[in-house]
Structure 1
Amino acid sequence: MSHPPASSLPPPDFEIASAFPEAAWLRQAAAARDWAAIRNYVDGLPYGTDRAFAVRQLSEVDGVEEWLRGVVAATPGDVLALTVLGAREVRIGWEIRTTARAQHVSHEQFAGLHAHLRQAEQLLIRATALDPAYDAAWAERLTTAMGLQLGQNEARRRYDRLTKHHPHHFTGQARLLQQLCPKWGGSWEAAHGFARECMLAAPEGALSGGLVAEVHMEHRLDLRGQEREQYLRQDHVRAELVEAAERSVLHPGFRRGYGWVTVQGYFAAHFSLMGDMPRAAACFRALGNLASRYPWCELGKDPAETYIRHRDTALARG
């Protein structure tokens, strides 16, 4: 089977709606304040769908909070409205904080973050009280637990409430994984252990194997100099990444659920960095020109240029 030369391939497409067209429709409906259409769409999703994806798309629409407050006031039992408004408050708070490391965030920024997270908490507590099985609300409560520094035990409690109804919820898994990293008060032992636990518990072909790739990326980026350069050369790291890829993105039954582009990108980046060009090339071919900003924004100043450089090398040599 022949493949087009790398130089003829289009640049990476970071627009999430290119992988999931419903994202564009959701944002348009939110901008048009068409709550009835949004409700009908989300309520009609098959059981087991990761509804945190839809909630995130809606929460990213500027100004959506202005009219959603009216929806919540008029129908205080609307779990979706409570969840989206809560998610929007979380997003506003995080925009104030920025994604900088804690030592580079001002007291005023932290205060702004915490004020919005506390508002979000009240909305999300109501949502999970009304519907204890509502996955998107529990997923957002994992983010508020992290931002409000409620601790590892509380984060685990919330995760357990989520997985009681949704045992392999990828968004929830990814959010708890962040909490378990040292930067949020966890440890590498806990983070790696959780990622592996999720991978082994999930059916083969599930996204959960991507957690292993994510935690190795986090661990590598936390190192400096020679330690960072040598991280992926360790035999056990390579073995874990190959196993995780073969249980997820390289498995014949891999399911392209919400988040698959990011997961595929993590493996493409790892295999490229470690010089495993055949596996890197397989990941890039599966992506086509789809991409998410992570992990490429962590590997160079220009995510598109970084993606192209790694992709072209992998396809030329793999």
Structure 2
Amino acid sequence: MPAPLPAPTFDAGAAYPEVEDLREALDAADWPAVRSLLADRDHDGRTLLVREAGDHVDADAFLRRVYDEDPTDQLAGALLGTHLVCAGWRIRSGARAQYVSRSQFGGFHEHLRRAEQVLIDVTARYPDDAAAWTERINVARGLQLGQNEARRRYDRLAHHHPHHLPAQASLLQQLCPKWSGDWDRAFAFARECAEAAPDGAPNAVLIAGAHLERWLDADSDQEWADYLRSTPVADDVLRAAQRSVLHPDYVDRPGWVGVRSLFALMFSLTGQWSAAASQFTVLGNRGTTYPWAYVDYAEGFTKYRSAAYAKGDKS
């Protein structure tokens, strides 16, 4: 077991140095620096940075000013639209609908409608903007525009970027029963994405994500336990990893912490401790809010990491 084990962090800046650079540029209201940091990024890296900038609470006035100065600017629109989406979801919180107040829903929907107005213009002018389309899928889910509309938005994005994992992960949430979907469609989509992606691509992690969501939807402690003890579930998670993080062609790319975090958790939950330990070793103390929020953040990360290192050589 590595010693000492550092406390986990869910700060993206710990994994991606460019995130810290971006935050400094936003705090300094330095638009040329922001633009430079996002220039020439591939669609995965750009989507990650657009989301991190949008989630930077203190950037509100700056992003609004930049957008107001030129509403036709692609990056300004993507950043402001994403900022409004993030602000809206913070108002709503991550609770199930029955625990969200009417006033929360009001503020949430107001922000999403404003975001939609901005992002519609971005995707009309720049139909290959993966970050903007990804946020429009999030908006469709939040405004409950329906399965068909969410899929239409995804298909528009996939025409330009057929394996864009952030968009696929967003649509997978839409396809789960908690957002008026069903498990057949959720798993079918996860498998569709995994099979279409090249070997060594991260997309098969969606299968692990579908199993996590299905487990969380269990109605009783016994059903929870039975699902995780299922050999087909464990085997399915392992096969997904063998197509992605355990494949010889796999390379960590923007978003890799979330991919490895999801496999680390699902390997732990299904008792595949050696495989879990391999993911925790690469992660170190880095994690992402999803999926660790589902198991009490740092408490769950620490518990499963310790168990993986203790049991990994015996599994």
* Shorter-chain TM-score above 0.5: yes
- Percent identity of equivalent pairs: 48
Gaps of 5+ in 2: none
Task: Work out whether residues 245 and 267 of structure 1, in 8 Å CA contact, stay in contact via their aligned partners in 2.
Answer: yes
Runs of 4+ in 1 over 6 A off after TM superposition: none
Q: 2: distance between equivalents of 1:175 and 1:125?
A: 18
> For each residue in 1:53-108, what CA deviation from the matched residue of structure 2 results, as whole angstroms up to 9, or x when unmatched?
11111112224232322222221210110111011111111111111100011111
| Other-structure match for 2:304 | 310
Q: Which residue of 2 aligns with 1:183?
A: 178
Is 1:128 aligned with 2:117? no
Note if contact 2:18-2:37 (Cα within 8 Å) is conserved in structure 1: no
Q: Does 1:274 align with 2:266?
A: no
Q: 1:214 aligns with which of 193, 203, 209?
A: 209
Aligned-partner Cα distance in 1 for 2:286–2:65 = 37
Confirm or deny: 8 A CA contact 1:50 1:171 kept in the other structure.
Answer: no
Tell me how far apart the structure 2 counterparts of residues 306 and 72 of structure 1 sit (CA, whole Å).
Answer: 40
2:20 to 24, 27, 36: 24
Q: CA deviation at 1:109?
A: 0.9
Task: Answer with 176-185 or 69-78: which moved more.
Answer: 69-78
Which residue matches 2:191? 196
Give 3-state SS (helix, strand or coil) of 2:303's partner: helix
CA contact (8 A) 2:7 2:302 kept: yes
Distance 1:267 1:166 in 2: 24
* CA deviation string 1:157-177 (max 9, x = no partner): 100110111110011111111
- Of 60, 63, 84, 2:79 maps to 84
2:150 aligned residue (155, 162, 166): 155
What SS is found at the alignment partner of 2:294?
coil
Per-residue deviation, 1:50: 4.0
Matched residue, 1:106:
101
- Tell me how far 1:7 sits from its aligned partner: 4.8
Matched residue, 1:71? 66
Q: TM-score, normalised by structure 2?
A: 0.95
Query: 58, 79, 93: which one pairs with 2:53?
Result: 58
RMSD of the TM alignment (CA)? 1.4
DSSP-derived class of the 2:23 partner: helix
Structure 2 CA distance, aligned partners of 1:243 and 1:151?
31
Query: Shift in Å at residue 181 of structure 1?
Result: 0.6
Number of the residue aligned with 1:45: 41
Tell me the amino acid that sits aligned with residue 106 of structure 1: S
C-alpha displacement at 1:298, in angstroms?
A: 1.3
Q: Tell me if the contact between 2:172 and 2:189 (Cα under 8 Å) persists in the aligned partners.
A: yes
Distance 1:225-1:212 versus aligned 2 partners, 3 A rule = same
Encode CA deviations 1:174-232: one digit per residue, 9 max, x unaligned: 11111111111111111111111101111111110111111111110111210011112
Specify the code of the residue in structure 1 equivalent to 2:235: A
Question: Structure 1 CA distance, aligned partners of 2:45 and 2:179?
Answer: 24
Write the distance in 2 (CA, Å) between the matches of 1:43 and 1:270: 35
Q: Contact 1:141/1:158 (CA < 8 Å) preserved in 2?
A: yes
- Number of residue-to-residue matches in the alignment: 311
Give the match's secondary structure for 2:249.
coil
Structure 1: 5+ residue stretches without partners: none
